[in-house]
Structure 1
Amino acid sequence: MNRNLELLDPAIMGNEETMYSLLNHLREHDPVTYVEHPNYEPFWALTRYDDIKFISQNNSRFLNNPRTVLVQKQFEQTLLEKFGSRNGLETLIHMDAPKHKKLRGVTREWFKPGSIGKLSGNLEAIAKQYVDKMEAMGGECDFVKDISLLYPLQTIMSIIGVPPEEESMMLRLTQELFGGADPSLARGADSTDALAVIMDFFTYFTALVEDRKQNPQDDLATVLATALVDGEPMEQLDQISYFIITATAGHDTTAATIAGGMKALIENPEQLQKLRDNPKLCNSAAREMIRYTVPVRHMMRTTTQDEQFQGQTIKAGENICMWYPAANRDSAGISNPDVFDIERDNKNQLAFGFGSHMCLGQHLAILEVELFFRELLPRLKTIEINGELDWVKAVFVGGLKSMPVRYQF
């Protein structure tokens, strides 16, 4: 039975168990499958590690534009009419050479390991704040809603320069953007609601840009507000899109990793004990949590020439969808991929992408996860899941929506 249409079901792709069941089946039985659905442009779904890595290494043959993520045709048309692009936004993930390299260079120094390392003191203070909060809650909390959603939110907002009193608004917009297919998170049920979320981001960040032009500060907002590309001010769509991807992806994916990582530690107590015994493993544990949870489910590319994958011909101009969780559980690229191993060498994992489009914020994400567990585990005596898990219904960026836990400090 052809199960490829399940890739478009947010309930299946949001839930870890059902997602991996589907992706493992496709990787084994139908690794290059053609997906046709009346609400979407047709595309090829690829689920094998070697194929996805090859595409990621050959950007001139596989373009990010004009279709970067799965979007329903009706909403694509809405975005095309509003912004002149099927993607709407013009972030780094939507760009190809030479523009991609130029725009990536705007913040490259900011996100290098050395620059990120200078933020450690501030990040440690924020991590301690949320571990203190967890301890003060008296032994029970919803780890997602009370802790993992909020810690990386405060972190990325402080880096951008968004004031604390506006963080809850940014959280709501982020959840509406990435949770648009989840009835409990979406603003509404049609494309006008989704467009309104994007426009709210535009309104907020346009005002922030104007403020930083007049009142520069030591934050990322000032860098973006005053950036020059080829000697000219950055175009407004590029500028605001940069803000949006930093504020949303920089928060939501890290939140999903911390929650999913905590779940993995609870389910693998020997790994939890190993991490307690050797805190130096927190960096490699953070990388393993990212590989294991893979918050970004997919990215799309468009072929510039006919290509062959697993005996299938994908013609020039056709769309390819790369499923990263499938690649990160493929034994052809990852040894014992279904095992959660905090000592794993994760140099080959694909959760951050690969090649020139590898996630610009990867070092920040790893550091955030590492510092949180460095603060938590020496103080945490016991922890267990204390209720039903709930997952964000999503096809693009997913993870836990609720995880009640019981614990002792």
Structure 2
Amino acid sequence: MGNETTMHALFDHLRDNDPVVYLDHPDYEPFWVLTRHEDVKYVSQNNDLFINNPRTVIVPQEFEKMLLEQFGTRNGLETLIHMDNPKHRKLRSVTRDWFKPTPIGKLTPMIEAIAHEYVDKMEAMGGECDFVKDVALLYPLRIIMKIIGVVPEEEQMMLKLTQELFGGQDPDQGRGNEVGDGMGVLLDFFAYFKNVVEDRKNNPTDDLATVLANAIVDGSPMEELDQISYFIITATAGHDTTSATTSGGLKALLDFPEQLDKLRANPDLANAAAREMIRWVSPVRHMMRTCTEDVEFHGQIIRKGESLAIWYPAANRDERAIVDPHKFDIERDNRNQMAFGYGGHMCLGQHLAVLEIEIFFKVLLSRIDWIELAAEPKWVEAMFVGGLKSMPVRYAFT
């Protein structure tokens, strides 16, 4: 899905006319598509009826076969988003306390310093930059890499691998056109984090990598494949989704200038604005679930063993659940939005994501005089995590 306008036009049509539709494509195993808020919420909160395995995200059949051969599962590396209970609950508990609001709040000075660093960069660039490539991709990357313990010299490598993983369908970001290229990306991640695990076991520090490398589950050290998978989802989802929201959030402010003026005049609205940006962008496009028994949605029977995809951008623009959903409103009460998921698999890093976005826009709008688009934005062609890949802007500092 490479364009915001066409994506939402499609979802608007499906919610109103085909809220539960069967998709049979020659390159993919068939699955059902759900687009209404009530259905996405119901699936998300019933984790025994709708399980994550064996299909968690939409990937081509041929790639699923390769993953099965290499890792013994059609998902490949089994991260938290792929797991079902009781394993999911046990492994989630390893970092649950680390990602609670109070510990995350203690990161505020570090995040503020990094936000100023990238706003300094914008100022030094002389009034014009590609906001996505020069700022939005790098700001949350620096934060999550610092949290994990990856040195700055390796950030670009981690960014490249993340783009290859999440943007594999995009000609500018994918590693190549062959099915095996996706496998190569996973194996490169595995090799890198395998070394990180070994280092933190031998040289523990106070970073998140040390927590994961030395984690105990059911009285024994966490299995290596689980550790590597944990690192991968933390390192990739920990910055790519926030990058997409930072750039998409700025675009929303430019598209709704009265909201930009309101936020500039009321910095205390930055937290609510960050949450509205997350709803607006909904960077995680979908998740797959498999039914453990027959279930009915709007007259359609989805059989036991069949898969369905729940679409978060569609749920977050559903007027049945959200008032005037196509309006960007930084004062909106966003307790009903679904961008972080819902239920047992709600995003662990949600408090960190909100804080990063809140702080960045507080810093940017306190220092910048004006900002506008300098060219038409471009979108990543991706089905799992999506957003802008280019947004040239012009601006002036006070």
TM-score by length of 1: 0.96
Which residue of structure 1 lines up, in the alignment, with residue 240 of structure 2?
252
Amino acid at match of 1:391: W
For the pair 1:90 / 2:78, whether they are aligned, the reply is: yes
Matches within 5 A, 1:233-272: 233-272=221-260
What secondary structure, in the 3-state scheme, does the structure 2 residue paired with 1:141 have? Answer: strand
Which ranges in structure 1 are unaligned for 5 or more consecutive residues? 1-12
What secondary structure, in the 3-state scheme, does the structure 2 residue paired with 1:271 have? Answer: helix
For the pair 1:334 / 2:322, whether they are aligned, the reply is: yes
Which residue of structure 2 lines up, in the alignment, with residue 229 of structure 1?
217
What secondary structure, in the 3-state scheme, does the structure 1 residue paired with 2:367 have? Answer: coil
For the pair 1:100 / 2:69, whether they are aligned, the reply is: no
Q: Whole-Å Cα distance in 2 between the matches of residues 132 and 266 of structure 1?
A: 21
Amino acid at match of 1:73: Q
For the pair 1:192 / 2:180, whether they are aligned, the reply is: yes
For the pair 1:388 / 2:357, whether they are aligned, the reply is: no
Amino acid at match of 1:189: N
What displacement does 1:36 show?
0.1
The RMSD of aligned alpha carbons is: 0.6
2:108 aligned to 101, 104, 120, which one?
120
Amino acid at match of 1:379: R
Amino acid at match of 1:226: N
What whole-Å deviation, never above 9, does each CA across 1:211-254 have from its counterpart, x for those lacking one? 00000011010000000000111111110000000110111000
Which residue of structure 1 lines up, in the alignment, with residue 28 of structure 2?
40
Which residue of structure 2 lines up, in the alignment, with residue 286 of structure 1?
274
What secondary structure, in the 3-state scheme, does the structure 2 residue paired with 1:14 have? Answer: coil
What secondary structure, in the 3-state scheme, does the structure 1 residue paired with 2:232 have? Answer: helix
What whole-Å deviation, never above 9, does each CA across 1:33-65 have from its counterpart, x for those lacking one? 000011111000000000110111111100011
Q: Whole-Å Cα distance in 2 between the matches of residues 291 and 89 of structure 1?
A: 28
For the pair 1:216 / 2:204, whether they are aligned, the reply is: yes
Which residue of structure 2 lines up, in the alignment, with residue 3 of structure 1?
none
What displacement does 1:14 show?
2.4
What secondary structure, in the 3-state scheme, does the structure 1 residue paired with 2:368 have? Answer: coil
Q: Whole-Å Cα distance in 2 between the matches of residues 226 and 378 of structure 1?
A: 42
Amino acid at match of 1:227: A
What secondary structure, in the 3-state scheme, does the structure 2 residue paired with 1:276 have? Answer: helix
Which residue of structure 1 lines up, in the alignment, with residue 133 of structure 2?
145
Which residue of structure 2 lines up, in the alignment, with residue 9 of structure 1?
none
What displacement does 1:335 show?
1.1
Amino acid at match of 1:301: R
Q: Whole-Å Cα distance in 1 between the matches of residues 201 and 80 of structure 2?
A: 22
Amino acid at match of 1:133: K
Q: Whole-Å Cα distance in 1 between the matches of residues 27 and 258 of structure 2?
A: 45
Which residue of structure 1 lines up, in the alignment, with residue 263 of structure 2?
275
Which residue of structure 2 lines up, in the alignment, with residue 10 of structure 1?
none
What displacement does 1:79 show?
0.2
What secondary structure, in the 3-state scheme, does the structure 2 residue paired with 1:301 have? Answer: strand
Which residue of structure 1 lines up, in the alignment, with residue 394 of structure 2?
406
Q: Whole-Å Cα distance in 1 between the matches of residues 244 and 189 of structure 2?
A: 21
Provide runs of 4+ in structure 1 moved above 2 Å.
none
Q: Whole-Å Cα distance in 2 between the matches of residues 201 and 248 of structure 1?
A: 10
Which residue of structure 2 lines up, in the alignment, with residue 6 of structure 1?
none
What displacement does 1:313 show?
0.6
Q: Whole-Å Cα distance in 2 between the matches of residues 110 and 167 of structure 1?
A: 22
What secondary structure, in the 3-state scheme, does the structure 2 residue paired with 1:381 have? Answer: strand
Amino acid at match of 1:347: R
Q: Which one is further off, 153-162 or 187-196?
A: 187-196
What whole-Å deviation, never above 9, does each CA across 1:144-189 have from its counterpart, x for those lacking one? 0000000000000000000010001001101111110011111111
What secondary structure, in the 3-state scheme, does the structure 2 residue paired with 1:93 have? Answer: helix
Which residue of structure 2 lines up, in the alignment, with residue 343 of structure 1?
331
What secondary structure, in the 3-state scheme, does the structure 2 residue paired with 1:105 have? Answer: helix
Which residue of structure 2 lines up, in the alignment, with residue 302 of structure 1?
290
What displacement does 1:192 show?
1.1
Which ranges in structure 2 are unaligned for 5 or more consecutive residues? none
What secondary structure, in the 3-state scheme, does the structure 1 residue paired with 2:296 have? Answer: strand
Which residue of structure 2 lines up, in the alignment, with residue 4 of structure 1?
none
2:65 aligned to 50, 74, 77, which one?
77
What whole-Å deviation, never above 9, does each CA across 1:293-314 have from its counterpart, x for those lacking one? 0000000100011101011011
What displacement does 1:277 show?
0.7
Q: Whole-Å Cα distance in 2 between the matches of residues 160 and 349 of structure 1?
A: 28
What whole-Å deviation, never above 9, does each CA across 1:12-33 have from its counterpart, x for those lacking one? x121111111111111111100
Q: Whole-Å Cα distance in 1 between the matches of residues 257 and 125 of structure 2?
A: 23
Q: How many residues align?
A: 397
